Every structure is written in C-alpha cells, then in structure tokens.
Structure 1
C-alpha cells in the first residue's frame, strides 16, 4: 500500500490536487478524523483489502485534534508503516487574493482579517511542512503545471525538484514584477528597437536573437549570471526556498530581455535540482498600445 498524506495551507490548491490524484488512481479520503487514521490504515492493509494507493487529507479543519497527529505519525513509524507527506503552500499575498476572489473567509480568521487566519494556520501546521517529503508552492503554478508536477512525482516517479524557478522577461516602463526575487537590467545592451526592420519582432525571433547575442557583452553577462545562479540554487534549497522568480528587464520587455531570458532558461534546463519555466510578461504590450 502506498500512503500519501495531503496537507498544506487553506487556499493553496488541496481540493484541486485531490481530484488530480484521484484521476491518477489514488483512493482519496479527505478530512479523516485524526484518531481514526491508524485504524483506517490498518484496515486498508488487511489481506482481503485490494492493494491500492491511498491519499488522506489532513489540515487545519481537524481543529483541536490536530495536535494528536504528531504522536499518530510517530506510532506509524514505530510500526513500520511507510507514508509520504505532500504539503501545498502559497505566498500569503496570493492566498489573500484567492480568498477575496472567491469571497470566502479563512477558517481561522473569525471576525479578524484574512491575514490573521493565515498567520494562525502557519503556526498550527508548521510541523507538517517541516516533516513533508514534498513541498509544492502553487503561487505561480497554473492548474496544468500542478498536474504535471504531481504526475512527475507520483506516476513517473522522477526525483522531486524542490525548487521551482520562473525566468521572467519584463519591461521597466511597465514596472518591476512585484514577485521577483532577483532582478537584472539588460538595458546596457544595444537596442534593436531603433532598427526599423527589427522593431516589430521579438526576442523569440531568430533575427532579434542574432542581433542581441551578436555582442560579446551579452555572452559575458549570461555566463556570469548562470554562474551566480548555480551558486545560489543549492543554498536556496538548503534554506528551504521552493519558489524563485528571476526577472530580466529591458525598456519595453520585448527584445533584449526576452532574448536573455530565453537563453537563461535554456541553460537552467540542465540543472537537475530544479524545475524551470519561462514567462514573457510584457512581450505583446507595445503591439496592444499600437506602437
């Protein structure tokens, strides 16, 4: 029997993950009373029971009995019962936004602000995050990307990549991304915008890529940037960071930043310890403005 305990912050996507895991062949039981957990597992292991994969959802809804979970998990380990813990998390600002969009209140906020409930919840279930085998931060994940991560871990059984890196291009004239952890300015490079035949194209086009990467400074910048990120990655993982947004900006977010973001993304794909995706925030905004 494979036993997975699914937990995490309210609003981080546990309900969505439950449906996905059910589609992947798991038998899912949500909000099982903690005092019944051991008995449920024993029953599932009876010789007459069909060999199966189980997901048990446990979170803040357990209320006062949540404090019993540590001792129950300890008993399971002593009995030789194997289990994994999947913890879904998200940034506080994202959780607040999700609650506001659904017009729901946090289960622990009562008459207080949503933020107060989130703080209480983090304190109550922090021990589960510390013991988790897998931590997925859904702050910047699309539904399909969450599904891909779950498939990699629980179907393809690939090594879990605890740090997910988003490489983002942007235009300074539209503002620095609020969620950026590292910001780099490539406006020191020659700008294709001032060449009429190149202006309509983007850093996804080969002509722009050849222009931008035709300068030695571009290659030196990229090499130094990769070298620094390769140094930072294991240290971020050691510190427990599970989301990293690297933002590369030029004036309009269309040519130079897109080219360098693409090149960085290509280089980081070879890093086994991380998952990585590319996002071009402002690539089409000049066209929308009629420029």
Structure 2
C-alpha cells in the first residue's frame, strides 16, 4: 500500500479519496474547505494544513481540482507540489484541464523529478462513489503501469491513450459527446411531455433501443423529477466546452453541435444556474418552447 497525497476533495475527489482509504492506502488530504478534510479523516484518512505537508511523504500525489489555473496554483510556485514532493513520486492529475496546459505542466513535473500522468475521469459523482469511473490517461506507459494501484480502485474502464496531454484531449471529446447527448435528451423529454406521453414508460423503452445511453440512464429521471442537484455542475461543463471549442478551432475542426450546446450552457451559467447539474439544460429546453421545465 502507498502513501497518497490527495489534493482537492470536492464532489468527485472526496469519494475517490475515501475509496483509496477503504482499499488500505494511507491518504493525506488537502482542501480549501476544512469540512471536506474532516470527512476524509472520519473515513480513516488524515488531513494536512498545507500542500507541502500533504505531499512530504507521498509516493503518489493526486490532484482533483476544477480548472487549469487551479492545477497550476497547487503544483507550481514555492508552496506547490513540484517544490515539495519527493523525487520519483507519481503525480496523477484527475482534473479536466486544457491539453496544452497538461503537456506543459507534465514537462515541468519531469524537470522536478516527478512522473506525471494526466488522467481525467468521466462518470460523475455516482461513478466516483462506486469506483467505476472511466479514466483516459496520458503519459509514459511505465508510469501508467505504476499507477495501477490507484487507478484500479477509483476506475473501471482505464485506458492509456497516448503521451502527456492525450488524456485531456480524449476528455474534451467525452465532454462534447455528453453535452450534445444531454441537450438531445432534454429536447426529447420536452417533446414527449408536450404530447402527454407516459414519460417513465417512454424513457424505459427508449433506453432499451439504439437511443439508450449512460446519459439517458443517469439524467433522464433527474429531468422527470426536476431534480438538478449537482453530480456535475453546469459551470464546470461550461469550462470544458470552452476547452473543446478552443481546441477544435486550433485544430481546424468544425464542431457545430458542440458550439451550439456550448452557447446554451453558457446562457444558463450567465443567468445564475451554473451550480445546477448539467441535466439543467432541460430547464432551458423547456423555456425555449414556452414551457416550464424547472
């Protein structure tokens, strides 16, 4: 069992860190909110008051924070991971950030004597709780193999997709697919309700055919219940779609559906709905048709 420093105990990070504790690893958590650290301690982990303290004895350093600037803030500078983690430690970044930033930070990590992996995840809070996340990993193949003791505990579908930055590129594609699917589901449910169809029955039969998907399974009932407590917040999906559209433009790739959904997500965030689950796209789908889906 390894000594693991886990930085970022949010909606995803906390259950992931607890799963590592349950598996027998020694986990030291650091988070801006002390309440989350206390939850990790209650589960058998321990807490640190600084990043330096958290990573001092770590064989593996994990980061799980919201955005590119957040990752840079915790790993660089005098108080960051690179300055205080011991040489040879693995650094696994489960955050979803820009591929170019992931590549640059990976190079800086190697200069600092660390072994970096960009390993963004998909599966939302339920996947984090159950330890069945899909993980797309960029980095050195040997480092990927060495990280199995962590990856196998928090994930189910774990694939090495290429060099540093590749994991983030695949995650961007994932977020494009998810957003478009949620919007399509939101429009379909709005359409069904307009005709007075038994929507529970409709989603059950649709889920058994070609229209079936993880999005339908996990988000359909939330829409029917008008329950938008966040498993993955719209404000974070807004950030991810910004990554998608910028990266697509740089590559000369046109993403018309992705761009349209990105604007819808941005509209919800701009009006104050960024804290809702991304299934909250259903609210706007209804409003555009003059209906209340809230």
Q: TM-score, normalised by structure 1?
A: 0.34
More strand by share: 1
The structure that has the greater radius of gyration is 1
The structure whose RCO (Cα within 8 Å, separation 6+) is larger is 1
Q: TM-score, normalised by structure 2?
A: 0.33
More helix by share: 2
